[in-house]
Amino acid sequence: MTKILYIHGLNSSPASSKAQQLLRAMGQMGLAEYLYLPALHHQPRQAIQQLDAIINGAGADQLVLVGSSLGGYYATHLAQRYGLKMLLINPSVRPHRRFDHCLVMQTNYYTGEQWMPTEEHMATLAELEVPPPLEPARCQVWLQTGDETLDYREAEDYYRACSLRIQAGGDHGYSGFARQLPALLAFAGVDPRLWRGIDFS
């Protein structure tokens, strides 16, 4: 059975809109136990350790990564290391090169936790950089041109060898995500008999 690991972005959590929509969808199909929704530490090194533990425990043979924003950067690193399929949603590209303006107190949108990025934070992000993926069958990238946080063109260029889905408008949170869940499930390899006929929107 396909398992999905959802990797949230910077200052986000499993309580985010996309994570909860995916959780409800998996629940409607009776597959909630096959979805991993970790609350990641704000320090990249610890976040990757959390994700490594999940991947090693779940078994990588039928695991698909779904990464949003910074989670897309983490997913890109992990997909190469473990040979996994990944679906990225408005992913961050080389975040260590644009993090200078973020060296101020940060607040998690959902938990209220405050933390301060450091030079070590950026150095760890730099260590996670990998070459652009070259196998479109194993990588889908969903972008919306109205992303107010990241320039979608950076991801369009970096992931140009992947299967790209670019929508006009939208936002960084990827508006209309619930309506796209059938496409996500199809890419992940979930049996269509389990989700056809379900209105996820």
Span of 52-56, 100-104, 175-179 with lowest mean pLDDT: 100-104
What integer pLDDT is reported at residue 100 of this predicted model? 61
Residue 1 pLDDT class (50, 70, 90 cuts): confident
Angle of helix 181-188 relative to helix 17-28, nearest 10 degrees? 70
CA distance linking residue 42 with residue 25, whole number of Å: 27
Residue 15 is encoded by which pair of tokens?
């309580």
What integer pLDDT is reported at residue 55 of this predicted model? 96
User: Residue type at 186?
Assistant: A
Span of 25-29, 96-100, 131-135, 144-148 with lowest mean pLDDT: 96-100
- pTM greater than 0.85 (yes/no): yes
Angle of helix 44-58 relative to helix 119-127, nearest 10 degrees? 40
The CA distances from residue 159 to 23, 28, 44, 143, 150, in Å, are 27, 32, 22, 11, 14
Residue 33 pLDDT exceeds 70? yes
Are residues 67 and 91 in contact, defined by beta-carbon separation less than 8 angstroms? yes
Sign of CA dihedral 49, 53, 56, 60: negative
Residue 59 pLDDT exceeds 90? no
